[in-house]
A and B are shown apart, each in its own frame.
Chain A
Amino acid sequence: MKAVIVGCGRVGAGLADALDRAGWQVLIIDRASAAFDRLPSSFGGTALRGDGTDEDTLRRAGAEGADLFLALTEGDNRNIMAAQLGVEVLGAARTVAKINDPVRAEAYAHLGIATLCRTNLMETAVLTFLGQAAGERPGIFVPERAHTHSHTGVAGPNSAPEA
């Protein structure tokens, strides 16, 4: 199994290590080589300095046809672009993008990308810890269908703007 991870922060590095230990072939990309200090010395995958939203960089690194593509940088929009590049151009089977803005996280789940929303995760965790009702704030929005790029004009179920 092959995984591509864009963004070597704590979460990216942690997942890279976990998947590597589980026997995956892991490629992790970050714009700053210092970020790779977070990887343990036992890490057996490939760490590459570069722009994870650049198609050529990803291709040269052999990111095509991954089973899993994780976009975990600090920029919501960079993650959105990288994830769509991963699934549409590089043919990744599954992709997860970290999007901290809950509105965008939900919107892109409707477009078919699994999205991870730290804002919701943390709010829910704190409210749960305090014993208060956490309400409907999913930390991961599960896509309802395959990713659509929509020159078809198919809009998400939430596409009608609220008044």
Chain B
Amino acid sequence: MFVLVVGGGKVGYYLAKELIDSGHECVLMEKDRSRAETIRDEIGSVVISQDGCEGKYLREAGANRADIVAAVTGDDEDNLVICQMAKHHFDVPRTIARVNNPKNEGLFRHLGVDEIISPTRMILGSIEQDIPVHELLHLAALGEGELEIIEAHLQPGSPAIGKVAADLRVPAGCSLFGVIRNGAPTPLRADTILAEGDKVIAIGRPDCEVELREQLIGEPEAV
């Protein structure tokens, strides 16, 4: 496999090193000359000190015969352009981009980058898994934001557990319309008895939140 790596920061450096160690053909592009020189001393002449965003230098680096181009610089816009040039100008079958701003993931995917790696998102995901969620989760805004779809995860300490849905004091301007129980969505009926672990889905005005939170989340038990 011939992999063209663009960006000689920590990620690009270790990536190139690992690829070479496991027997792949690899070229690394790093536009900063002194940084490129440092890496060249370590991993050999496969380092090219040119800007991987420029078509001319991508061609010189062999982009037209690369199986994979991995764009791992610290700048999202550069990574996007590297992948698009690789794909459209050099017909590279597989492009991989590092995305620093998680908000750019959708755009990159939409614009045809094959694989998107977001370190920010990964670390965020890992942190969020460790933190018990005692807040209402905002799933989506409707219209101009005057209504929101909200999820409440019933955890130990929630005053709603064991109650019949009809007995909940749902604030005006808000409606509960469904429960996700054991991963399966079910409509919320007046006689539904709420249980620990349920995810209650509501639509409501943002000003209903305080009361909704009291009803469904309550004061969480100390963890």
Contacts and interface: CB of A to CB of B under 8 A. Distances in A.
B88 A78 contact: no
Contact of B103 (A55, A107, A110, A155): A55
Contacts of A132: none
Contacts of B154: none
Contact of B89 (A76, A77, A81, A161): A161
Nearest to A153: B112
B81 A77 contact: yes
Interface residues of B, number: 29
Contacts, number: 84
A153 B69 CA distance: 16
Given A88-B111, A107-B88, A150-B87, A53 B81 contact: no
Nearest to B92: A161
B107 interface: yes
Interface in A52-78: 53-56, 75-78
A80 B79 CA distance: 11
Contact of B55 (A56, A104, A156): A104
Nearest to B111: A149
Contacts of A110: 88
14 contacts: A55-B104, A77-B78, A80-B84, A101-B53, A103-B55, A104-B81, A107-B85, A107-B88, A149-B110, A150-B112, A158-B89, A159-B88, A159-B90, A160-B91
Interface of A: 53-56, 75-78, 80-81, 84-85, 88-89, 101, 103-104, 107, 110-111, 149-151, 153, 155-156, 158-162
